[in-house]
């Protein structure tokens, strides 16, 4: 089973779309959530000294109360899935994705650079490249389904790490392993 889309292909897609799923030049990407971190929800940000700060918010089963500050429109054609080419534990990432979708519910607003849900070695995350994001369970479930389809997900086996780039929202949503950077 192949999980990768070459980096070159990802760059070509980003150039063709006029956007990139990565932070803008001059911004710092987030380091991965440290191995050994507790399962649950984390908010990620970059401190003034350039280091990553992950703030534990609580257990995913006790998801934070849904908050919504905005409404989101229809998707545009420049949105796409990108696979990183490495595998993650399918059971852990499937649980992290399920918990992330549940957390989003009917609308969960976050203004930090990232929000992430950890389950075992799996991380499901959202990246904010704008002025805040509101995730909704239906949208996020669809994004994860597209990642599953294109990057691979086999119960009990590997899953391909990757993300859905929602360029019209200035956001991306994806999955990876603890210790691996994103956003």
Kindly report, residue by residue over 91-110, the tens digit of the pLDDT: 999 999 999 999 999 999 99
Q: Which string of DSSP letters, residue by residue, matches 81-105?
A: EEEEEEEEEHHHHHHHHHHHHHHHT
Kindly report, residue by residue over 16-57, the tens digit of the pLDDT: 333 334 343 344 567 888 888 878 787 777 777 878 877 777
91 backbone φψ class: left, alpha, beta (φ>0; ψ -120 to 50):
alpha
d(C-alpha 6, C-alpha 86), whole Å: 11
Kindly report, residue by residue over 110-120, the tens digit of the pLDDT: 999 999 999 99
DSSP classification of residue 120 = T
The more confident residue out of 24 and 181 is: 181
Direct distance between the N- and C-terminal alpha carbons of the chain, in angstroms, rounded to an integer: 26
d(C-alpha 141, C-alpha 101), whole Å: 6
Indicate the domain borders of the chain: 7-177
d(C-alpha 42, C-alpha 38), whole Å: 10
- pTM score, two decimals? 0.64
The more confident residue out of 15 and 130 is: 130
């Amino acid at each position: 089973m192949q999980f990768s889309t070459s980096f070159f292909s990802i760059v070509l897609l980003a150039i063709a779309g006029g956007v990139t799923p990565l932070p803008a030049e001059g911004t710092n990407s987030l380091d991965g959530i440290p191995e050994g971190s507790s399962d649950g929800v984390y908010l990620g940000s970059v401190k003034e000294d350039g280091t990553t700060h992950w703030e534990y918010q609580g257990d995913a089963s006790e998801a934070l109360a849904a908050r919504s500050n905005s409404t989101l429109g229809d998707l545009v054609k420049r949105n796409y899935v990108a696979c990183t080419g490495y595998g993650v534990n399918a059971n852990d990432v499937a649980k992290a994705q399920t918990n992330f979708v549940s957390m989003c519910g009917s609308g969960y607003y976050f203004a930090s650079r990232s929000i992430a849900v950890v389950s075992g070695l799996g991380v499901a995350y959202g990246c904010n490249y704008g002025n805040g994001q509101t995730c909704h369970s239906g949208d996020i479930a669809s994004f994860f389904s597209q990642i599953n389809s294109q990057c691979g997900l086999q119960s009990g086996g590997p899953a391909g790490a990757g993300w859905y780039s929602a360029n019209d929202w200035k956001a991306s949503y994806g999955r990876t392993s603890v210790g691996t950077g994103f956003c």
